[in-house]
Structure 1
């Protein structure tokens, strides 16, 4: 998929500083397209910048908000919150 240049721009809240002084202060996420023999699969991940630990991951057929939310729910549950 190509970037939608008309989409609203969001501020860089981390100011490109991908460090954290303690756990659970800064989480980041990414979504990756994985080509497979059956078609495209998308992987959404959430990582704690302090430990660099993968906290949540989800796969799906579409790179949408629901996929991202599922990875966030998993990360929240991994850190003791309501998932």
Structure 2
């Protein structure tokens, strides 16, 4: 199954852009599409690390050296989740 989607945020004609992307995707085997998709996301997700310290008396995990319970920690998590929305195409 192939799925394409667009919004007016990136395209003046999101329906046509999604149809164009679908036609382009149909020219490639699934393995090529999967490899491309994985490589695109790996570039974003390999930038972030998560460390959980068992000797941490507060029991907090840290994202980007900021405790999860802090506002900067939450920003780091939201940034990680939004990476998938950052890809063009």
**TM score, norm. by length of structure 1:** 0.28
Name the structure with the higher helix share.
2
Name the structure with the higher strand share.
1
**Which structure is larger by alpha-carbon Rg, 1 or 2?**
2
Query: With CA pairs under 8 Å and 6+ residues apart, which has the higher RCO, 1 or 2?
Result: 1
**TM score, norm. by length of structure 2:** 0.27
